[in-house]
Structure 1
Amino acid sequence: MNDSVWQQGWWRNARHAFSPNYAPRAREEEVSLVVLHNISLPPFEYGTGAVEKLFTNQINPDEHPFFSVIHELRVSSHFLITREGEVVQFVSCDDTAYHAGVSSFQGREKCNAFSVGIELEGCDFEPFAEAQYQALQPLLTDLIRHYPIGAITGHQDIAPDRKTDPGHFFDWARLQAAGFPVVR
């Protein structure tokens, strides 16, 4: 077990930006799933810092018309990987982040309760950056070493009627070839 990179559910290799949008994970729940997402704010724009502002409840509704629609959302993910490969952590993996919404994985409802959410800065319509894959793989490796994770899947797979992310440009074969437990 590689505990030296973890401190109370916080990955030491990430920049930490605390989100208030979480709940304590139930004691009987173990982190057994990783859910991959994509996000860009405003839509299809990168490097704006707006995702971090959304997850920390600091988004300004006057900065962009789309922000006036989402500024009251109270959502979060455990991690964000920017296009440049920076990993930002918002919620301890020992807690529940609000990333999956109404969801089901292999018959289990409410995936937030037993999963870690990783947002990749991007959209459904273009490939992710090489730097993101280079940052994602060590994060996944350390998650699997520290938690009893049995599967990695996409938001589109746990909420197929609502979500399409991370989208068809995400390179699932790359994760499989690296030995990660991808379940689609």
Structure 2
Amino acid sequence: MRIENFLCGALMSLCAMSFAAGDGELAVKPMLLPADCSTSRPATATIDRIVIHFSSDAKKNPDNPFDPEQNSRVMAEYKVSAHYMIDRDGTVYQLVPEANCAKHLGKDSSLLFDKVTSGVLGDRSVGIELLAVGSEKDMVPGIMTAEEYGAFKEKHPGFIGYTDAQYSSLDKLIAQISSRHPDIKRDRAHIVGHSDCAPDKRNEPGELFDWSRLGLAKYAPLQRERGYRGVNMNSYNIFWRNMRFEQIWKRLTELGPTSRTVVMLGDSITEGFPEKDIDGYTIVNEGINSDSIDHPTLPIGIIRRLDLIKLAHPEHIFFLIGINDICDNETPDDLEPQFIETYDALKTTFPNVKIHITPIFPVAKQYKHRNPVIDEMNVRIRRLAEERGFDIMDLTPLLKDSEGNMKEELTLDGVHVNNDTYKLWISAVSDKLKASEK
């Protein structure tokens, strides 16, 4: 969980509880947060996931960033929460009863926040917050500036990373929670980090977290044990990617035998595109949150779900991808071979389909350090598209302000776009479809 300055906490209670948890007893101190920091968990929900986060008050209180009471006040102020918080000395605080849903995914984690808290991961999970400060990659620029982090690390090198006591308590706490919820298996499909759920927005518990201390692998598996209806599942995150796959499959089964289809292909920005008919064409939205052009170590990426596109039998494919890769600090040199591979696969797989490439949207001022990379990558995207005979549908001139950033009136959070942008996008798609009929 991450808020610009942030961290966790709760209202105080002095009594302690002990629970049998694996080897030895684990003391858990109640520190319950106000009621508006959580919601009721549906009676039908099955708890089958644990999500691990980190937080601290390092930006505002660099000399005392791990005070549980202060972190609890920040959490209460922002009306966010986790079920448990683990202090540097291994003390475990319960912030929210497991019978409730903690607000540990954050409204800024993705456009799928409402879906997550209303029926997917939020209903099914227990959140654990570790008081810690991550690496520079984990902290900059989302929480601290590079200068702030450098000064903090120089003055308090021992505050960086996690403690032995935290790993010990976390191991016992996981065992304790799992004993109450047997659907939580001791593997990386069920015990995950926030970054496994929202890799485009979060890097928690971060690169300094040692999963082997819990007897677990570093990376979560991003695939089911089997395929689904003959389609490779490697592209789908085990949480909302599977949910999105089910939604897309349902949409495909609803298509009539004479439907003229248009596939909107991409990530969460595309996922928000309205699935309404345009000029007699049926829109099939195959945007999937947090997807990327490819990934060097994880089995995700557009190229791994071409079979799903085939099922739509599209006449047109409109393709926008890349912001998650750039937010993962990949460079244009890293990305160009991945775009080449994906574009070539699309051209080979869909030789008679009109493919429209949309360059990556700019981001707003608060993330402006990303825009030079986006601009450079877009130069390459246009060139690669032209070399393959793809059409280019460039919306960036409509989205940029005078400084080259996303116009504030067109974005929800600086990255994702609002309804005004989707109206512009729909109009551009309509123009392309009409032009193809001439």
In which range does the TM-score fall when normalised by the shorter chain?
A: 0.7 to 0.9
- Aligned residues of 1:91 and 1:97 also touching (Cα < 8 A): yes
In structure 2, how many angstroms separate the alpha carbons of the residues matched to 1:17 and 1:109?
25
**3-state SS of paired residue (2:27):** coil
Determine if the alignment matches structure 1 residue 82 to structure 2 residue 87.
yes
Structure 1 residue 154 displacement after superposition: 0.3
- The structure whose Rg is larger is 2
- Aligned residues of 1:38 and 1:166 also touching (Cα < 8 A): yes
Structure 1 residue 94 displacement after superposition: 1.4
Query: How many residues are aligned here?
Result: 155
In structure 2, how many angstroms separate the alpha carbons of the residues matched to 1:130 and 1:46?
18
In structure 2, how many angstroms separate the alpha carbons of the residues matched to 1:16 and 1:174?
26
Structure 1 unaligned regions, length at least 5: 7-11, 58-70
Counterpart for residue 122 of structure 1: 132
Letter of the 2:31 counterpart: A
Q: Against the structure 1 CA distance between its residues 96 and 15, is the aligned structure 2 distance closer, same or farther, given a 3 Å change threshold?
A: same
In structure 1, how many angstroms separate the alpha carbons of the residues matched to 2:51 and 2:199?
13
Flag the structure with higher strand content.
1
In structure 2, how many angstroms separate the alpha carbons of the residues matched to 1:47 and 1:114?
28
Structure 2 unaligned regions, length at least 5: 1-17, 21-25, 136-159, 222-438
- Aligned residues of 1:123 and 1:165 also touching (Cα < 8 A): no
Counterpart for residue 64 of structure 1: none
- Aligned residues of 1:80 and 1:118 also touching (Cα < 8 A): yes
More relative contact order, 1 or 2 (CA 8 Å, 6+ apart): 1
Counterpart for residue 27 of structure 1: 43
**3-state SS of paired residue (1:88):** strand
5 Å matches for 1:99-118?
99-101=104-106, 102=109, 109-110=116-117, 111-118=121-128
Letter of the 1:75 counterpart: V
Q: 1:54 aligned to 34, 56, 74, which one?
A: 74
Structure 1 residue 31 displacement after superposition: 1.0
Structure 1 residue 103 displacement after superposition: 6.2
Structure 1 residue 127 displacement after superposition: 2.2
**3-state SS of paired residue (1:138):** helix
Structure 1 residue 175 displacement after superposition: 1.3
In structure 2, how many angstroms separate the alpha carbons of the residues matched to 1:160 and 1:144?
25
CA RMSD of aligned residues (A): 2.5
- Aligned residues of 2:27 and 2:91 also touching (Cα < 8 A): no
Determine if the alignment matches structure 1 residue 18 to structure 2 residue 18.
no
Q: 1:183 aligned to 190, 206, 220, which one?
A: 220
In structure 1, how many angstroms separate the alpha carbons of the residues matched to 2:80 and 2:215?
29
Give the TM-score normalised by structure 1. Answer: 0.75
Counterpart for residue 142 of structure 1: 176
- Aligned residues of 1:123 and 1:166 also touching (Cα < 8 A): no
Letter of the 2:168 counterpart: Q
- Aligned residues of 1:42 and 1:50 also touching (Cα < 8 A): no
Structure 1 residue 86 displacement after superposition: 0.6
In structure 1, how many angstroms separate the alpha carbons of the residues matched to 2:31 and 2:49?
22
Structure 1 residue 13 displacement after superposition: 2.6
**3-state SS of paired residue (1:13):** strand
Flag the structure with higher helix content.
2
Structure 1 residue 42 displacement after superposition: 3.5
Counterpart for residue 62 of structure 1: none
5 Å matches for 1:66-77?
71=77, 73-77=78-82
Structure 1 residue 95 displacement after superposition: 0.8
In structure 2, how many angstroms separate the alpha carbons of the residues matched to 1:5 and 1:146?
11
Letter of the 2:71 counterpart: V
The percentage of aligned residue pairs carrying the same residue is 29
Give the TM-score normalised by structure 2. Answer: 0.33
